[in-house]
Amino acid sequence: MRAKQPLLLLLCLMASAAIVAGAFHLGSRRAQADVMEQGSRQLQLMAPDLQSLLERFETLPFVLGQQHEVADALAHADDPAVVARMNASLQAIQRQARVGALYLMDRKGLTIAASNWDQPLGFVGKNFSYRPYFSEALAGRAGRFYGIGTNTGEAGYFIAQPVHRNGSAGGPVDGVIVVKTTLDEFENTWASSEDPIVLADRSGVIFRTNRPAWRYHSLHPLSAATRAELARTQQYMGQTITPLAEPTGPYVTRAVGRLGWQLMLFPGTGRALRAGLQWAAGAALLLACAGVSGWALHQRRRRLQERTESRAALQRAARDLEQRIHERTEELSATNRHLAQKYAKLQEAERLLRNTRDEFVQAGKLAMLGQMAAGMTHELNQPLAAIRAFADNARTFLARGMPEQADGNLGHISDASARMGAIIAQLKGFARKDEAIASVDLARSVQASAFLLESEFKRRNTVLEIDTGATPLHVTGNAVRIEQVLINLLRNALDAVDGAPEKRVWVAMAQEDGAAVVRIRDSGPGISAQVAAHLFEPFFTTKPSGQGLGLGLAISSSIVQAMNGRLGAHNPEGGGAQFELRLPLQAVPDHNEHDSEEHTP
């Protein structure tokens, strides 16, 4: 029985697949028939409109051909005054009738007058004897033709009528008068259709369609005779007619016009496909419901059988369970004793871990104290160097009997000492987060920082150029901390140009995107890619041992970030390195508060 179940299941699946496929086929065929019928009704509405458009101006060239002034223009084609009157008359009629063009040709096909005589691409002087409508009109019949204008490059529908001598019908034909209309307005109504609509000539060449990629392609390969005829009449001048590359699918068609045209509509297969899928989904749903119902009945019978078997199994399991409970109780008792021993060991390990953690915390505190002490040594070296330089200058001034200059240097020494106190206060501020925030004139901070390093620049024969700009730049922050950053950047630039052929440092200020920007550039060798990756890390330095702790840029970066700013560095064009300090610009600075808080020598 069980061996037959897979075969039975396979047969059921195959039958279900066949039913679903049949439903899909039936549904798609019925939907496709409805779509084709709908397309046929649509063409029944469109074809009369196109026919009406083609016949709208059928009588216009005939009526004009009966006018005596047209025959006079042909008889006196060498008279400029007659031709001018004919041009004006054709132009007035063309504008009133709203056609593309009106023009008059002699028996040789030469255009002697046209409504577009005053346009750059006018027809006057052009010969159209190769057009089929000319030869038909010359034979005394109405000529009709559709093609691309060889002069303007614009496609149109041409209607030609013969012009008889003295305006009498049946007499000798002296010329041909032609009206050119366009089908653009009719084609524009197709744009809203989702289905492809085409207008093809008797050769199967598509010349009007709502699918631009189909235009001037053929529905089937053209014969050699057809290609020769198209080339002779220049019907589609400049276009290479090739068969459509994409499949067109089923279509409905309707004859229209007197030139053997076919108005065709290609209903999309998407609707038929969706209908087929819906039918198939419905059939699959019904089969699924039937299968689920059968499966439920089968499962109910199995449950009844299993319930009987389970009762016997429960009785056996109850006996086995009692035996296993006894065994498990013994095992759990032994496990509890083992866990108690492990818990005691874990408590001992936890105490050891807690002591180790406390030691690491203490080591971290000591490391931080060492970092702050190293940073203080690095930052105090700058004002100490200034004090030493001012003291040497004061002694020189006293020796030369220049007490006023010596007094000025002593004042600078006092200011530098105050600056050392301010720096120490700053370093304390890192711990207690107590900072004096005010409006800071960035130009004055730059000048103050440069003043403290003036003697150092002179001692190293380095040129310092400062451009503070024409517009004052005010930022919100701490003046001493900003000067601390600027002094550190200037000293780094000074160290960078020590071995350079040209020792020069530039400082420039600017306002960009609501921020004040200070750029400090040097003429040194620049920053290598390896150094740039670690430039603002603590204790990273490229200076020899004993000349730097690698904390200056790290501290400067933290100061700038605390003021919502950004400190960056790169190698500009022209060589050297450039550091860029960017701080948010203060819209309306408070000058009184700025003067009270800012400290400059």
pLDDT value at residue 442: 92
The CA distances from residue 374 to 489, 546, 552, 563, in Å, are 18, 11, 10, 23
- Give the pLDDT confidence of 548-559 residue by residue, as tens digits: 555 678 788 888
Beta bridge partners of 143: 160
The one-letter amino acid at 76: H
Q: What are phi and psi of 180, to 5 degrees?
A: -115, 125
Q: Name the pLDDT band for 89 (thresholds 50, 70, 90).
A: very high
Whether 184 has a pLDDT exceeding 50, the answer reads yes
State the pLDDT at residue 592: 47
Range with top average pLDDT, 416-420, 480-484, 555-559, 579-583: 579-583
**Which tokens sit at 416?**
């530098």
State the average pLDDT for the chain: 82
Residue 445, pLDDT above cutoff 70? yes
Of 99-113, 275-289, 385-399, minimum mean pLDDT range? 275-289
**What is the bridge-based pairing of β-strands 197-200 and 261-265?**
antiparallel
- CB-count burial class (<10 Å; 0-12, 13-18, 19+) for 192: exposed
CA-CA-CA-CA torsion sign (278, 282, 284, 288): positive
**pLDDT above 70: percentage of residues in the chain:** 84
pLDDT band, very low/low/confident/very high, at 256 (cuts 50, 70, 90): very high
Copy the structure tokens of residue 234: 């220049």
248-276 burial code (b ≥16 CB/10 A, e <16): eeebbbbebbeeebbbbbbbeeebbeebb
Structure tokens given for 189: 């109504």
Two tokens, residue 121: 């691409």
416 versus 90: which is more confidently predicted? 90
pLDDT of residue 362: 41
Contacts of 193 (CB under 8 A, 6+ apart): 210
Per DSSP, the three-state class of 248 is coil
- What confidence score (pLDDT) does residue 378 get? 53
Q: Can you tell me the distance from the alpha carbon of 576 to that of 426, in angstroms, rounded to the nearest whole number?
A: 31
* Across 224-237, average pLDDT: 90
584, pLDDT greater than 90: yes
Q: What is the pLDDT of residues 422-441, one digit of tens each?
A: 656 544 544 444 457 889 99
Q: How confident is the model at residue 102 (pLDDT cuts 50, 70, 90)?
A: very high
At residue 460, φ and ψ (nearest 5 deg) are: -95, 10
Cβ 243 vs Cβ 223: under 8 Å: no
d(CA 597, CA 479): 7
Between the two ends of the chain, the Cα-to-Cα distance in Å is: 107
Q: Are the CB atoms for 32 and 272 separated by under 8 Å? A: yes
The dihedral built from the CA positions of residue 580, 565, 596 and 432, taken in this order, carries a sign that is negative
Q: Which residue has the higher pLDDT, 540 or 338?
A: 338
Of how many residues is the chain composed?
Answer: 601
Residue 572 near residue 578 (C-beta atoms within 8 A): yes
The encoded tokens of residue 532 equal 């740039």
588: confidence class by pLDDT, cuts 50, 70, 90: low
Q: Nearest 5°: phi and psi at 128?
A: -120, 35
Phi, psi of 570 (to 5 degrees): -160, 175
Backbone angles phi, psi at 584, to 5 degrees: -60, 135
Report the pLDDT value the prediction gives residue 463, as an integer from 0 to 100: 92
The pairing of strands 242-243 and 217-218 is parallel
Q: How confident is the model at residue 8 (pLDDT cuts 50, 70, 90)?
A: confident
| Contact in structure between 199 and 261 (CB atoms under 8 Å) | yes
In this structure, which long-range contacts are made by residues 37-41, counting pairs with CB atoms below 8 Å and at least 24 apart in sequence?
A: 38/267, 39/195, 39/251, 39/252, 39/265, 39/267, 40/252, 40/254
pLDDT of residue 360: 43
3-state helix, strand, coil in the chain (%, to 5): 55, 15, 30
How would you class 2 by CB atoms within 10 Å of its CB: exposed for 0-12, middle for 13-18, buried for 19 or more? exposed
Q: What is the pLDDT of residue 540?
A: 60
Sheet bearing 111-114, strands edge to edge: 111-114, 101-106, 173-181, 155-164, 143-148
Region 121-142: mean pLDDT is 93
Each residue's pLDDT tens digit, 268-325: 776 656 666 776 788 788 878 887 887 888 788 888 888 888 888 888 888 888 888 8
pLDDT at 547: 54
Residue 291: which of 553, 572, 527, 15 has the closest Cα? Answer: 15
Res 169: pLDDT: 66
Please state the rounded mean pLDDT for residues 77-94: 94
CA 386, 388, 394: angle at the middle one, nearest 5? Answer: 100
- Quick one: DSSP state of residue 189? T
Q: What is the per-residue pLDDT for 520?
A: 94
pLDDT at 458 over 60: yes
By the 8 A CB rule, do 149 and 180 touch? yes
Answer whether residue 486 shows pLDDT above 60.
Answer: yes
DSSP-derived secondary structure letter, 542: -
